[in-house]
Amino acid sequence: MRKYFNFALLILVCIFVPTSQAEDQIELRGTTVVGNRELPKVLYIVPWKKANADNLMGNPVANLVGDSLAPIDRDVFRREVAYYDRLSARKAVDPIPAE
């Protein structure tokens, strides 16, 4: 009798354990793609304008840096500094009124 009880208990445990594990699973929605099946599955990329080979040649480092590393003229630089000093002194004396 004890043998049948253990067997029945084992069967009940086997039945209810997968059910309790299935409750812990999360259902996620999948991605749905809607389209026309008659269209081809090919992508054609057509350039609308021809590339100029002249624009591709040259020194790329100079284009990236620009004029920031170009040499400057001493007299022009001194004039710019003097102009900046006068302009900042004028703003300190004559602030713009707030509206």
User: pLDDT digits over 36-48, tens only?
Assistant: 777 767 777 777 7
The answer, yes or no, to whether residue 97 has pLDDT greater than 80, is no
> Nearest 5°: CA angle at 64, between 62 and 69?
55
C-alpha angle 63/66/68, rounded to 5°?
155
Query: By 3-state DSSP, what share of the chain in percent is helix, strand and coil, each rounded to 5?
Result: 50, 0, 50
pTM: 0.29
Q: What span, in angstroms and rounded, lies between the C-alpha atoms of 89 and 2? A: 104
